[in-house]
Amino acid sequence: MIPRPRLAYRWANSQLRLAGVDSAAREAYYLFCEDDAQPRPVLAEDQQQMDPGDWLRYVGWVIRRCDGEPLQYIKRRANFYSLSFCVNPAVMIPRPETEILVEAVLQHPRLPPGPILDVGTGCGAVAVVLARHMHQRKVVAVDISPDALRVARHNAWRLGVADRIEFLCGDLFSPVSGRRFAAVVSNPPYVASEEMARLPRQVREFEPPVALDGGSGGMQVIERLIASAGEHLVGGALLALEIGYGQARAVQRVCREHLGSDIGLEVRQDLSGIERVITCELAYG
């Protein structure tokens, strides 16, 4: 029997609670939304049974969430910097902490002329936000995954900046050989390989390992990126990196080793007090 909306919502709430989902009531309601913001009117009116197609879709979504699949993959949407991005399992879900990385670039007072490079763009969240806020600059977005780039291109088109972002497929700087930038920004894989098995299930089993696994100690991709960054930065350029817990000192040391002792380093904390973003300003010369 197909229930009325309120009964369907109560069923979903109870199922999510039994599955141990945090904020079960909120998520049951969110799954009932037409889009990311607007609730279905029938949930408030509750005058008649649900449409059979809506009921089957709702049941399927609730079952998937109870099985641990992230809400963002189920709805194919994730919010970042007040924008709605399309996501799927080919890309990592953008986190609020990465907004600190974006702000580090947007707030930098003295970027030299030139384009900006986003290494490991994923769904394109960082590249799209930078393109929308830095109207006079071109953005180049690189990712090793062709599937991720398809998602990023779609988001750039949806959000009106496809004409100002160049998308390239390859590992780190390989697609931009010989090119230099005013800023290089990256949220690289920084989870230690030995910690991958201990990640929360909804991350470990559903998000792409290539976007998470930073090798032994979590520093291998970061070290490769920093070691090559100097060849692609103009004088006075900015390197901005999101990093993992406890990595700040090691990242600063690697920056000094490869980019010089006269660089300007700054560390930004997230809301939990974790050193989350490092910016490195190169000297002019």
CATH number of the CATH domain containing 146: 3.40.50.150
At which of 19, 48, 67 does a domain end? 67
Is there a single domain that holds both residue 99 and residue 62?
A: no
Instruction: Tell me, yes or no, whether 213 lies in a domain.
Output: yes
Is there a single domain that holds both residue 170 and residue 57?
A: no
- Residue 118, class by beta-carbon neighbours within 10 Å (0-12 exposed, 13-18 middle, 19+ buried)? buried
Instruction: Tell me, yes or no, whether 73 lies in a domain.
Output: no
Picking from 147, 143, 148, the residue whose alpha carbon sits closest to that of residue 176 is 143
The predicted structure's pLDDT at residue 110: 87
At which of 67, 97, 119 does a domain end? 67
Q: Which residues lie closer than 8 Å to 233 by C-beta, 6 or more apart? A: 180, 181, 183, 184, 239, 282
Is there a single domain that holds both residue 115 and residue 212?
A: yes
The predicted structure's pLDDT at residue 122: 97
Range of the domain at 248: 78-281
Is there a single domain that holds both residue 63 and residue 99?
A: no
Contacts 24+ apart (CB under 8 A), 145-149: 145/90, 145/91, 145/169, 145/208, 145/210, 147/90, 147/91, 148/90, 148/91, 148/121, 148/122, 148/123, 148/208, 148/211, 149/121
Instruction: Tell me, yes or no, whether 72 lies in a domain.
Output: no
Two tokens at 106? 């947007």
Mean pLDDT by 10 residues, the chain (285 residues): 84 93 89 63 63 89 95 94 96 96 94 96 98 95 98 97 97 96 97 93 94 94 96 95 95 94 91 95 79
The predicted structure's pLDDT at residue 53: 87
The predicted structure's pLDDT at residue 5: 81
Give me the helix-helix angle, 24-31 and 52-66, nearest 10°: 140
The predicted structure's pLDDT at residue 30: 87
Is there a single domain that holds both residue 24 and residue 140?
A: no
DSSP assignment letter at 137: -
Instruction: Tell me, yes or no, whether 33 lies in a domain.
Output: yes
Is there a single domain that holds both residue 163 and residue 250?
A: yes
Is there a single domain that holds both residue 197 and residue 249?
A: yes
Is there a single domain that holds both residue 57 and residue 122?
A: no
Using CA atoms, how far apart are residues 18 and 66, in angstroms rounded to an integer? 8
Asked if 120 and 142 touch (Cβ cutoff 8 Å), the reply is yes
Strands 233-242 and 275-281 turn out to be antiparallel
Is there a single domain that holds both residue 263 and residue 224?
A: yes
How many domains are there within the chain? 2
Strand partners, 252: none
* Three-state secondary structure call for residue 148: helix
Q: Which residues lie closer than 8 Å to 190 by C-beta, 6 or more apart? A: 214, 218, 219, 221, 222, 242, 243, 244, 247
* Three-state secondary structure call for residue 143: strand
Is there a single domain that holds both residue 128 and residue 175?
A: yes
At which of 24, 42, 67 does a domain end? 67
Is there a single domain that holds both residue 179 and residue 105?
A: yes
Q: Is residue 110 within a helix (H) or strand (E), and if so which, with residue range?
A: none
Q: What is the pTM of this model?
A: 0.92
The predicted structure's pLDDT at residue 47: 64
The predicted structure's pLDDT at residue 90: 97
Is there a single domain that holds both residue 57 and residue 160?
A: no
